[in-house]
Amino acid sequence: MNIGDKINRLTITAIRNTNKTFKTGKKRKIKEVLAKCECGTEKWFRYEHVKSGRSKSCGCLNYEAHTQDPTIKTIHYVMTYILSSAKKRELKMELTERDVRSIIFKNCVYCGEKPSNFGAKEQREFGKGMSPFNGVDRIDSQRGYVIGNVVACCSQCNTMKLDLTVEQFKEKVAKIHTKINTVFDENKSNKQTAKLFKYYEGLVVLNDYMGGDLSVANAARVSFNKQISEITDTDKKLISYLAEHKHMSPFRHVQFSIILQDVPEFVLRQLYKHQVGIAYTAGDFRESATVWNEVSGRYVEFDYDFFEPVSFRPQHESNKQASYKHRTVKNEDRARQIYKDSVKQSWDAYHNLLKEGVAKEQARMVIPLAFKTSVIWTASLEALAHFVKLRNHEGAQVETQALALIIEDIIRSVCPISSEALLKH
């Protein structure tokens, strides 16, 4: 090769001999070429890499392939995630792109779910040109990403399984099935509408709902003494107009009843701030009530049930109220132990106060915000969409963002047209 030669996308502009130090510590002379890519980028390459065709561009060719082919882009997206996960957890990673391709486009081995845009986050990703895919689950969470230990797994099953073994996961699913049937046996109609979502160690259940997109359109048309029986393109435009111009009353005719089971108090506190079009029944979600009432610590002793974070995040440097979502503190094991010790100390203090004869209404004062409880949350479509817009935001607490994504999935499943309009405008 000579200066001025063009090979693939690279034009040679200079050639040099230089000394290179390798990771092993060895040094040796290598030949390099300075080449200008068709995209305008100029950089140094190994002489033999350009000559053999291993280096065809500055990297833009690979980038274009990933951005143009949805399948390749999806595989690259999953590979990047797996590599990051393996490095963070110090796990063995032996999968090739061919291995990943053979897994992620299969149905979920646990529930049979097809590769799909199963959640609000994935819907946004697919909008950037990705193919539907399922995730990669490690059958034995103690082993790495190696052939024989990885299977296709949908988002919900992956979240529910966490670090459980397959047998433990089967037992957990059986318990959920038994519990849900027990809860909804008292209201047969709810069995037909219930949708279950995993929230950390708790559950979010669409218990019941009233109305849909048709209700919104008819509520708006009643002013002209008109009613419709099915949604048309005209009604879609009407709903979009209502949301854009803040004519919100029609959206309040759609109501949702949502069970939040074993959700920590610090998350529920942020829900309590959303009052318009909302009613709460807190505590044992099977009790009969019509307003926000909690199981009272004045009457009963609480069971030990506290939320433990998946990871301990560092404080954001520029956003005073937020954390870095994908980072962890340097000594996470130490932070986790401090957290556990503090919760245990608070719980011991609660019981010791009771043993000393202190009234329950005072003993409960030492219980921290990590305490988990259960509520029934009844709210209008307008209120839930408003909650999602405020809490599915990078400035919101990560644990609350996770709940907002679930609520978004719920309202989109019942009112896809109205939800899209409310969240857009």
Report, as residue numbers or ranges, the catalytic residues. 391
Amino acid letter at 332? E
Q: Are both 211 and 153 inside the same structural domain?
A: no
Q: For residue 100, what are the domain limits?
A: 69-163
pLDDT over 90 for what percent of the chain? 34
Structural domains of the chain, count: 3
- pLDDT per position as a tens digit, 291-331: 354 556 676 777 778 899 989 999 988 887 878 878 889 99
Q: Are both 56 and 135 inside the same structural domain?
A: no
Q: Are both 303 and 388 inside the same structural domain?
A: yes
Q: Are strands 42-46 and 27-37 parallel, antiparallel or unpaired?
A: antiparallel
- pLDDT per position as a tens digit, 100-155: 889 998 899 888 888 875 444 544 444 456 778 888 999 988 899 999 999 999 88
Q: Are both 247 and 376 inside the same structural domain?
A: yes
Is the pLDDT score of 23 beyond 80? no
Q: Are both 303 and 202 inside the same structural domain?
A: yes
Evaluate whether residue 347 is within a structural domain. Answer: no
- pLDDT per position as a tens digit, 204-262: 999 889 999 999 999 999 888 888 888 999 999 999 999 999 999 899 999 998 888 88
Q: Are both 53 and 78 inside the same structural domain?
A: no
Q: Are both 85 and 211 inside the same structural domain?
A: no
Q: How far apart are CA 168 and CA 352, in angstroms?
A: 34
Q: Are both 83 and 53 inside the same structural domain?
A: no
CATH number, residue 302: 3.30.1360.170
Whole-number mean pLDDT of the chain?
Answer: 83
Evaluate whether residue 96 is within a structural domain. Answer: yes
Q: Are both 113 and 134 inside the same structural domain?
A: yes
pLDDT over 70 for what percent of the chain? 85
Evaluate whether residue 270 is within a structural domain. Answer: yes
Evaluate whether residue 283 is within a structural domain. Answer: yes
Evaluate whether residue 179 is within a structural domain. Answer: no
Write the DSSP symbol of residue 45.
E
Measured CA distances, 358 to 18, 364, 369, 379 (Å): 79, 10, 21, 38
Evaluate whether residue 414 is within a structural domain. Answer: yes
Band of the pLDDT at 289, cuts 50, 70, 90? very low
- pLDDT per position as a tens digit, 25-66: 788 888 999 999 888 889 999 998 898 888 888 887 776 665
- pLDDT per position as a tens digit, 330-367: 999 999 999 999 999 999 999 999 999 999 889 989 99
Of residues 181 and 133, which shows the higher confidence score? 133
Of residues 21 and 188, which shows the higher confidence score? 21
Domain boundary among 41, 61, 81: 61
Report CA torsion sign: 109, 111, 114, 120: negative
